[in-house]
Amino acid sequence: MNLKRNGALLGALAVGAMTLAACGSDDNSASGGADTSDSTATCEGKERLSGAGSSAQKNAMDQFVATYISVCQQQGTNVNVAYNPTGSGDGRTQFVAGQVDFAGSDSAITGEQAEEAKTRCVGGEAWNLPLVFGPVSIAYNLDGVDDLVLDAPTIAKIFNGGINRWNDPAIAALNEGTDLPDSAITPIFRSDSSGTTDNVQQYLGVAAPQDWTTGAGSDFTGGVGEGARGSAGVAQAVAGSAGTVTYVEKSFADQQGLNSARIDTGSGPVELTEETAAKVIDGAEFVGEGVGDLTLDLTSIFGTTEEDAYPLVLATYEIVCSAGYDADTSAAVKSFLTSAANEGQQGLTEQGYVPLPESFKEKLTASVEAIS
């Protein structure tokens, strides 16, 4: 993994990851047993932890908690982690106020809020630890076309009205030999405030800056198409109407049987798979160096041109104090996050997330261990 310092931090993941302040609120949970026999979680410290924030990571968090409880029960300890998916912004606010032990956030805590967190983290500061990753599909419903290639410029133009027909020359050039219909494109966007929207718009701003000039943010700025609420809502809208296209977490696209476009990053079309998403995570860079805060340089993800690396992957952070917890809380936070970063990753694929690559896991675990 490239850990070089990169001073450019793209704005916050306000999904923004697998979105979001609102996208993950749809029930898309799945469960699977994890092998906890080799867990390094100590199950020490206070028995009840609290967290709040990103709804995008709720299903992953449910799995982390269930796995952690199982690990500790095997050690003869009863524990629990109460996580409330109130949205990233609220989670950060509660964390700064000392109302929860950690926050889940689709964006790193930065600026004034990070400064305020230093008061809460007496003797320390807030660290952003990316723990949950999820790919986003450009999902479509087009009769007779089950393999479609798009690139960032064409995606940008589809969602801002610059391209409005499926046989547009720009799309045709990426899909030689495919019989594209001369029919209208209907973009479906999130009508609710969404981190998925923010991250997709950030991606377009990085990968197609000349074509996406309306900026990012939790609200859709493209100005065309039809809105639907929630991840389930946009996926259902596309499934029910030919000629439509949307952006949505892969698990929701899969549930509706939707096709996902391959994205050409300049090194050839890349299919959305666990392996291609993991590859871009493995190549991610950080704003800082060394052990500690792991705020991602999002340009290294969204702007990738690496072969077979899928660029539309969103990250969700756990925000913790580097120091300043009481001893029992510190021990419990470290134990829980250690479990989540290791055996907790098992089975995440079935829920539409991407398990952490080994090199990334090692970096994350080292930062967890450094919490004091």
Q: Which residues are annotated as a binding site for phosphate?
A: 54-56, 88, 106, 194-196
**Is the C-alpha dihedral spanning 337, 363, 298, 256 positive or negative?**
negative
Written as six digits, the tokens of 320 are: 């913790």
- Please answer whether residues 139 and 238 qualify as being in contact, where contact means their C-beta atoms are separated by less than 8 angstroms: yes
Written as six digits, the tokens of 149 are: 């290639």
Residue numbers in the known binding site are 54-56, 88, 106, 194-196
Q: Could you list the beta-strand ranges (E) of the chain.
A: 48-53, 80-84, 102-105, 126-141, 149-151, 186-190, 226-228, 244-249, 259-260, 262-264, 269-270, 285-286, 296-297, 313-321
Q: Alpha carbon of 253 to those of 89, 135, 140, 182: distances in Å? A: 26, 11, 9, 24
Neighbours of 362 (CB within 10 A): 12
Q: What angle do CA 106, 111, 116 make, to 5 degrees?
A: 95
The residues with which 48 forms a beta bridge, in sequence order, are: 80
Can you tell me the distance from the alpha carbon of 20 to that of 56, in angstroms, rounded to the nearest whole number? 5
Which among 111, 112, 93 has a CA at the least distance from the CA of 103?
93
Burial class, 243, CB count within 10 angstroms (exposed 0-12 / middle 13-18 / buried 19+): middle
Written as six digits, the tokens of 185 are: 């494109």
Tokens 């500790």, located at residue: 72
Can you tell me the distance from the alpha carbon of 272 to that of 349, in angstroms, rounded to the nearest whole number? 13
Can you tell me the distance from the alpha carbon of 318 to that of 108, in angstroms, rounded to the nearest whole number? 9
Q: Which amino acid is at 369?
A: E
The residues with which 49 forms a beta bridge, in sequence order, are: 81
Which among 343, 345, 325 has a CA at the least distance from the CA of 45?
325
